A and B are shown apart, each in its own frame.
Chain A
């Protein structure tokens, strides 16, 4: 029989990240020994997943695609920090590229086509969490193609960011100048996807900064874009 009341509330607090570290430690030990607590946590995790699906539905209704052209993206505020040429395209993509179905891929392609952008290919690059000894070492090194392409990044989020409702993101060059900034929601799978037109980026190193909209959690990744091989 499933418990309600206090157990349910404690499970909700745990799943929603409302406990401090010592409370989490104590809760998890108790969780291992209590079937009732396990039921309650399972319920809360299930509803959290449900909430993410609902958020995705809302996001998909508020189409975010043309946000550098229209200056806004549905309900999302977008700050444009860089003077962008008409060829710039940046798209947030709601499901991970690794999991993207063919129809979704073609969807992205058709979105690109809507801007009359000559695109050679879609390049998807996974960017998983890594920690190197040297924080200046790039997380990912990308050899840029000679032809215009869509460079789509599929970023594995830190768990603390993956559970956030929305993220503030920015891309800065090695000089610290912000190139893009935008807002997006993490995918159900704990990843975040977005895409650039390759022609809008110069070569060199870029910092991708990801910040939870309503917390102090920040994660940074370093990308290095190399010129095409001849």
Chain B
């Protein structure tokens, strides 16, 4: 009896040490990510920015590993169970690669063959300061209501408003 009790105690100690260790690792990685993020705000070099973004992604994956392996306890499960979860998730490798490649290819195609799309990326615009979201939404709601009334009374087809193309 006493033997199993001390076994239990040793196991508890070990588990608590693991929780403590993973908590510290997650916090430290998050702080490093934030420091890199703050550093990136004032940065102008695109190449260095890209390198830092890569580092942040690696830290993100490391954090994900620690959460899944230790907090979700997957590392201590039977190997077969781990495999039924991890192997399907490896589809993400193809998933991310193919779709990001597709996205950048679409941008290149549009920049080559759609002059309007390319032009939009060169025109600087002023930021509309006074526009308030809530006020704007209320205004459009009111407009819709009045329009609805006028349609009912006059029985005239109203022209649909042309939305500005962003």
B is a partner of A: no
